[in-house]
Amino acid sequence: MSKIFERMQKRQFTRKQKSKLEVAMIYLILAVMFLIIFYPLFWAFAISMNTTSNLFTASLSPANWSLDNYVWLFTNPRSDYLQWYRNTLFVSTIVTVVTTLLVSFTAYAFSRYRFRGRTYGLYAFLLLQMFPVLMAMVALFILLNTIGLIDNLWGLILIYIGGNIPMNAFLVKGYLDTLPKSLDESAKMDGAGHFRIFFQILLPLAKPILSVVALFNFMAPFMDFILPRIVLRSPENFTLALGLYNFVNAQFSNNFSRFAAGAVLIAIPIATVYLLLQKYLISGLAAGATKG
């Protein structure tokens, strides 16, 4: 009895069939994941294409899609959307350039030089990277209020740059540590100066991690709404995240399709940048991870 049963089972599930079944299972699981990932995104996109700005009457069918909400964002005099986009790009660009530069300098010093106070510096950075700037929000709010930097994009930029340095410096330092020291030592023998070694030898090699750092810093102001909310007051100074949040905050269901339209326009460029740099991103992340 049992022998027959065994033979039957063997015939039913040969190795090949079993493997095929497994692969099918994997695809099925992935399909469910894709559904869960795409559903909210598609839903938001569909809402953004609706003519009514009311969630109750909105429909998901593409039959009567229109670009009304997008047009409203760009042409309606009551819309500050373009200004917000400009503000955010301004903040993001400056933060990215300055942070990447400062961080690579700092990481270079910590990775390649043995100087007095280095260990203390590393400890300080390690400690500071654990405290998000947000933790001091009470203090930031009162500080900025007292010195009059509230409602000023430069105040926001300063906080972003300062807050970004410790963590990113650690990430880049970890990466630089993995590059062989013989490279810069031989360059030093050939008479290359400090800056030359940095810009011509280490920087090109550190490109993967630096692009990760740059990308993080560029995306952060698009995604962050809490610091802008603490710092900025008047709508013409808002960044995108804060502005859009205020859209839905005021009358949630009535403005939602406009919010969705604005959000789609943020998500597309960010996702594109991200996907273009994906290769660097994953290798950079993994490299940073192996060294902490």
Partner 1 sequence: MPTDKKNQKNKRPVNADLDHSPKKAMLLSVIPGMGQIYNKRRLKGALIFILFAAFTVMMFDFIASGLQGLITLGTEPRVDDSRVFLIEGILAIIFTVFYGVFYTFNLQDAKKEAQKIRDGWRPGGVMENFRNSWDAGFPYVLIGPGFILLIFVVILPLLFMAFMAFTNYNLYNAPPRNILQWVGFENFVRLVTIAEWRTTFFSVLSWTLTWTFVATTLSIGLAMFLAILTNDKRLKGTRIIRTILILPWAVPGFVTIIIFSALFNDNFGAINTDIIQPLFNTTIPWMSNVMWSRIAIIMIQVWLGFPYVYALFSGVLKGISDDWYEAADMDGATRWQKFKEITFPHLMFATGPILLTQYTFNFNNFNIIYLFNEGGPAVRGQNAGGTDILISWVYGLTFNNSQFSMAAAISLILGLIVATFAFFQFRRSRSFKEEGNY
1-20 residues in contact with partner 1 (CB under 8 A) are 19
Q: How far is the CB of 6 from partner 1 (least distance, A)?
A: 19
What the block records as the tokens of 244 is 């859009």
Distance CA 5, CA 11 (A): 10
Q: Report the residue from 105, 196, 246, 254 that binds partner 1 according to the rule CB under 8 A.
A: 105
Nearest distance, CB of residue 267 and partner 1, angstroms: 5
Closest CA to 241 of 269, 255, 272, 262: 262
In the complex, the smallest distance separating the C-beta of residue 113 from partner 1, rounded to whole angstroms, is 4
Residue carrying structure tokens 């069918």: 61
Closer Cβ to partner 1, 205 or 281, answer by number:
281
Minimum CB distance to partner 1, residue 226 (Å) = 6
Phi-psi region of 59 (alpha: psi -120 to 50; beta: other; left: phi over 0): beta
Q: Rounded to 10 degrees, what is the CA torsion of 155, 269, 164, 93?
A: -50
The number of residues in the chain equals 292
Are 91 and 221 in contact by the 8 Å Cβ rule? The answer is yes
Per CB under 8 A, does 102 bind partner 1? Answer: yes
**Which of residues 32, 37, 71, 82 is near partner 1 by CB under 8 A?**
37
Whole-number Å distance between alpha carbons of 44 and 267: 11
Give the x/- contact pattern for partner 1 in 112-151, rule: CB under 8 A.
-xxxx-xx-xx---xxx-xxxxxxxxxxxxxx--xx----
Of the two residues 205 and 267, which places its CB atom closer to partner 1 in the complex?
Answer: 267
Task: Give the interface segment with partner 1, choosing from 1-9, 74-82, 105-113, 200-208 (CB under 8 A).
Answer: 105-113
Which residues within the stretch 214-273 sit at the binding site for partner 1 (CB under 8 A)? 219, 222-226, 241, 244-245, 248, 252-253, 256, 259-260, 263, 266-267, 270-271
The minimum distance between CB 1 and partner 1, in angstroms, equals 28
Number of helices and strands in the chain (H, E): 15, 0
